[in-house]
Every structure is written in C-alpha cells, then in structure tokens.
Chains A and B, each alone.
Chain A
Amino acid sequence: MSQEKKEKKMTLSLPEEELMGSGHRACQGCGAALAMRYALKALGEKTVLCIPACCWSVIDGPFPYSSLDVPIYHCAFETAAVSASGVKAGLEMVGDTETTVVAWAGDGGTFDIGIQALSGAAERNDDILYVCYDNEAYMNTGIQRSSATPYGAWTTTTPVKHFKNRPKKDMEAIMAAHRIPYIATASVGYPEDLFKKVKKAKDIEGTRFLHIYAPCPPGWRSRSEDTVKLSRMVVQNAIFPLYEIEWGEKYTLNIKLREKKPVDDYLRMQGRFRHLTEKEIAYIQEEVNRKWERLLSLMDRSN
C-alpha cells in the first residue's frame, strides 16, 4: 500500500516553471500576487510588463531588485495603456514582433485615472494585453474607494456611516463598447481558467482586456486564508461571473452555475461589509440578480 503511494506521480494543473520568485513584498494571502504568478506562467519569458503606480509596483521590490523574471517598465499612474502602446511600437521598430506587451494595473489605475489612456489604446486597437487586477480600492495608498469598489463597502474614504452607495463601474461593458477583439473576466479562485484566458489573449492581435478579481486581505478586512475561497464564492454567487466577450458582441459564459449561491455568506466573510443591514444585503442580492439576468440575456443574444 505505502509502496504504491510512493510511486504515484503528481500531476499539476499548471506548468511548474515560475517567472515570479519568492521574497516579494505582497501581504500574506495577496490575490494580486497569485494573479501575477498565474499570468506569467501563461505569458512566458518573452513578455514586457508596464506597471503603473499600484501595489504591484511595490510588491515587485525596490530598485535594483525585482521578483519577476521579465522586464518591467514602471510608468506613471495614469499611463499603463499608453506606455504599453509605446513599448509595443518601439519593439516593432526594432523588428521584435514576438514579445507580448502587457499593461498590468490596479483597479484605480484602470477604472479611474487610466481610463482615458486605455480607451485611446482600445479605440486604436493597439496590440497590447491590458490586465487589471481588481482589489476593489486604492490599496497601495491606504484603502481609498475607487469606481471599482462595490456598493456597500467600507473604505477609509467611505467610512461606515457613509459607506459607498454607488454600484461598481461596469468596465466590461465600457470595453465592449470599444469593439476590441477580446475581453475576459477571471478570478484567482479559478487558476486554470485564468491561465487559459491569458494564453488565449496572448495569441490574439489587437487590444485584449483581462479583468482579474484579486482579494486583498488587509483592505477587505478578510482572513488571509480566505483569499481563494472568496475568489470562488464571488463567481458562484454571480457577483463576479467569469465570461468572455469577442469583438464587443459575442458573449461566452465560462463557469456555468447550476444554482446561484446567495451573496450574504460572501459579504459576511469580509469586515468591509460588516456594517450592512439585512435590508442592504437584500438590495445587493436584488442588484446581483438583475445584473445576472442581463448577462444571461446577452449570452442568449450572441448565440
């Protein structure tokens, strides 16, 4: 019996090679660190990252160190997309058409300050992969609300008495309106799906937009060991469904739900939602149901 056990080979669901090393500066249980680890497994060595001010510009390490085995261009907060467009154009000038140029930005750098540069790149259909790792606030500067912060959440600029009372911006819809070849949502709770999407996006020409759900334990007041669980729950309760949009029109749902889970367990696991009353949670549930129905109808329409 034990003999048999010894001979068993481990089969890993992702490639073993790592382009992200230990020693980086992310907090315990950081979803953004997981997102990078999986994305780089799919991207490979021939990759350039353009990282604007965000947690990842700190996680990577101080100059002259880096925890990633690919070149990084640290750019200004609002310039992730335009920096990537520029790097891509430069590489083309010197005859390099192989390297994947990636803009890697937080939700603040994407939904808020970087949206003009991103919209410009998408409208031109520049050949870049734009990745937004979404921890739903400005974490690097101390948990301020962004337009990706969901309704009901506490942040330091939306204190409990005045919690955020506006919905999260629908970035996928905005990107779809640009008619770019590829848009996808992903979650660190589904690494194989995330990996597949990065691989797919890598081989598409034009602007690709990937939105990755990435929990932040200190910012969400959640337990570090719950990062992956939250990233699965958020998909299963349809707060953050996993889907793809091709050319702004063809919608595909990647993780189908036999039954949609209620939102309250998910909310209760995070201190940032602790103050919510039954009524407010019921409102969030209604909104999720409404958005989910809308998404399903978009799926139907494109099939």
Chain B
Amino acid sequence: MKKEKQAKEIIFKSEKEVPLMPMSVGNMLWNKTGGWRNIRPVIDLENCIQCGICWKFCPDVAISIENERPVVDYVYCKGCGLCAEECPSKCIAMVEEEK
C-alpha cells in the first residue's frame, strides 16, 4: 500500500535555502511517533475476519492492508488502543511495552 514516501528530515544549511514563501516542503514521516507508545496492539491474524475496522479507525494511519490482512506500523502507532477496542472479533491484544 502506501508508505512509498521517504521519512526524511529537512535541514537548511543557510538562510538562503529557506523557501521565500512559507510552504511545506516535507511530510512528517521523520516524526516517529511510535516512541509515544506504552501499549502495543498485536493482531492475532488467525481470528481476524478481515473487516478493515481497525484500519478505518486508526487516527495515525498506522494500520495498512497488506495481502488482504491488517498490518500495524509500529514506527508510528501511538498505542491509543482504538483498533483493539473497535475490532469486532476482539483479536487485537494491547500488550505492555517493555521499557
């Protein structure tokens, strides 16, 4: 699916490199929000009914569909628990992160 975009941070070496007009020149993929997470969603694909509800309700676009299955992107998942709460077959467990 998506994620073909590069996660790169832009660094301006001098003032001259800064665009004259305030315009965005890069996405936020360098901001790896997975570090915010205290609990991680773990999907038990055996019991997944492939409904796509977890994908639909992720506020961080951290679930993608690969080979007709949901896949969590732990680089960005903030661990909000919405996917697990909304999963109709209750096959997503929220597991404590090891510190």
Binding site for B on A (CB under 8 A): 6, 8-14, 16-18, 20-26, 28-31, 33-34, 37, 60-61, 63-67, 69, 71-72, 74, 191, 217, 223-229
Contacts and interface: CB of A to CB of B under 8 A. Distances in A.
A23 B30 CA distance: 7
Nearest to A11: B52
Nearest to A189: B57
Nearest to A35: B59
B33 A64 contact: no
Contact of A8 (B2, B62, B68, B76): B68
Interface string B20-52: 001111111111110010000000000000111
B86 A228 contact: yes
A11 B52 CA distance: 7
Contacts, number: 129
Nearest to B59: A33
A18 B27 CA distance: 13
SS of A interface (majority): loop
Nearest to B5: A21
A23 B29 contact: yes
A64 B65 contact: no
Nearest to B3: A22
Contacts of B82: 29, 224-225, 227-228
A224 B28 contact: no
SS of B interface (majority): loop
A228 B85 contact: yes
7 contacts: A8-B50, A10-B52, A10-B68, A23-B27, A23-B76, A66-B26, A228-B57
A3 to B, nearest CB: 13
Nearest to A31: B59
B59 A23 contact: no
Contacts of A16: 1, 65
A292 B65 CA distance: 40
Nearest to B60: A22
Given A23-B29, A23-B30, 15 more contacts: A10-B52, A11-B52, A16-B65, A21-B27, A23-B7, A28-B78, A37-B61, A61-B28, A64-B18, A64-B26, A65-B30, A225-B80, A225-B81, A227-B82, A229-B85
A12 B27 contact: no
B29 to A, nearest CB: 5
Contacts of B59: 26, 28-31, 33-34, 37, 227
